[in-house]
Amino acid sequence: QDTQEKEGILPERAEEAKLKAKYPSLGHKPGGSDFLMKRLQKGVWGIISYPLSLEPKGVLGMKSVEQKYFDSGDYNMAKAKMKNKQLPSAGPDKNLVTGDHIPTPQDLPQRKSSLVTSKLAG
């Protein structure tokens, strides 16, 4: 409350100023089709890497997601150091950037179903 009175701005605006001071290249509107589209693509395999300094997050919270290449086509493209690869199922999105590192089978996330009984039932 004291801060509000002294500076005469809403706490929200003060927070906004803080965020913009940390990330000067942040756009004005967090909404917009780019960011919503990323949310819609949750779970899609491919490299989506967004350091906070470059891109604001979608309205619906698309976090930086590091996922791995899943087939030999992607693997070879990474090897050839191609940038700005299109995601297989996405619409055109020029902002997507591929990473440089090439995953090995050990890096791939384990996908096993939970065969163990829930601890709530224990």
By the rule CB under 8 A, 94 interacts with another protein: no
Binding residues with another protein: total (CB under 8 A): 52
Phi, psi (degrees; rounded to nearest 5) at 3 = -60, -45
Cβ of residue 116: shortest distance to another protein, in angstroms? 7
By the rule CB under 8 A, 108 interacts with another protein: no
Radius of gyration of the CA atoms of the chain, in A: 20
- Looking at the Cβ atoms of 44 and 97, the one nearer to another protein is 44
Phi, psi (degrees; rounded to nearest 5) at 65 = -115, 120
DSSP 52: T
Compute, in degrees rounded to 10, the torsion defined by CA atoms 41, 47, 53, 59.
0
Calpha distance 120→122 (Å, rounded):
6
Q: Which residues pair with 65 in a beta bridge?
A: 48
Calpha distance 38→79 (Å, rounded):
25
**Binder of another protein out of 7, 31, 54, 102 (CB under 8 A):** 31
Looking at residues 61 to 90 of the shown chain, list those that interact with another protein (rule: CB under 8 A).
Answer: 61, 63, 70, 88-89
Span from 37-45, 75-83, 98-106 in contact with another protein (CB under 8 A): 37-45
Under the rule (CB under 8 A), what is the footprint of another protein? 1-3, 10-16, 18-20, 22, 26, 28-33, 36-37, 39-40, 42-46, 52, 57, 59-61, 63, 70, 88-89, 91, 111-122
